[in-house]
């Protein structure tokens, strides 16, 4: 079970831990602080906000704004089409949220924008640097969500009468410069394939 509820991430008041003295104290946004690659606390000079790691990767590998917007548009349009066609019906469990006045039922992804267009995406300003290419339209958003996957042994699956959908053959871990955080899978995937005696 994996859960990410970014809307519930609190603000922190670090100075309150040992007693704050007179004067104003700064509250820290848990979301902002949590979106760093690397350790901002222990190695601040080598920690980068996620959006900037995307900018660094785009610069290094020649990923243009047009390319990013094209992927974003295709992704959002596919999500809208699949939602409308009911393709996610068996994968999404409705969640009820009760308030004093009303009960809300969340049963579809709210992140994609219905009717998204290239024209709308290209009007957005860079989100992380003045001359950047990453925008609110082509970057991942701040969302809530959860998913469940059942992991077990072959023997246990047979005992329970379950048909496995996949098998984990190997796991690979590798470190890379947090400045290029998004490139981690590029380095770890060939290693995992090699360990599994599979050709990349």
Q: Distance between CA 52 and CA 105 in Å, rounded?
A: 35
pTM beyond 0.75: the answer is yes
Tens place of pLDDT per residue across the chain (200 aa): 678 888 888 888 888 888 878 888 888 888 877 777 765 555 565 678 889 999 999 999 999 999 999 999 999 999 999 999 999 888 888 989 999 999 999 888 888 999 999 999 999 999 999 999 999 999 988 888 888 888 999 999 999 999 999 999 999 999 888 889 889 999 999 999 999 999 76
Domain boundaries, the chain: 2-7+43-148, 151-200
Q: Within 13 A of 162's CA, how many CA atoms are on the CB side? A: 13
Tally of CB atoms within 10 A around 20: 12
Please report, to the nearest 10 degrees, the dihedral formed by the alpha carbons of residues 3, 99, 79, 137 taken in order: -90
Nearest to 111 by CA among 78, 141, 70, 73: 141
Nearest to 54 by CA among 111, 1, 132: 132
Residue 41: what pLDDT? 53
Residue 144: what pLDDT? 85
């Amino acid at each position: 079970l994996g859960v990410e509820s970014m809307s519930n991430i609190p603000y922190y008041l670090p100075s309150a831990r040992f007693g704050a003295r007179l004067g104003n104290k700064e509250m820290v946004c848990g979301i902002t602080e949590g979106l760093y690659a690397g350790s901002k606390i222990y190695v601040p000079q080598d920690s980068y906000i996620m959006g900037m790691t995307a900018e660094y990767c785009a610069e290094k590998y020649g990923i243009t704004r047009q390319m990013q917007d094209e992927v974003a548009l295709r992704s959002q349009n596919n999500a809208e089409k699949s939602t409308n066609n009911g393709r996610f019906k068996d994968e999404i469990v409705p969640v009820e949220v009760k308030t004093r006045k009303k009960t809300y039922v969340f049963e579809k992804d709210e992140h994609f924008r219905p009717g998204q267009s290239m024209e709308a995406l290209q009007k957005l300003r860079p989100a992380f640097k003045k001359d950047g290419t990453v925008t609110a339209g082509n970057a991942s958003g701040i969302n809530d969500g959860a998913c469940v996957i059942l992991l077990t042994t072959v023997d246990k699956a047979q005992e329970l009468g379950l048909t496995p959908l996949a098998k984990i053959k190997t796991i690979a871990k590798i470190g890379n410069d947090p400045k290029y955080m998004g490139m981690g899978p590029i380095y770890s995937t060939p290693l995992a394939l090699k360990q599994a005696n599979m050709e990349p």
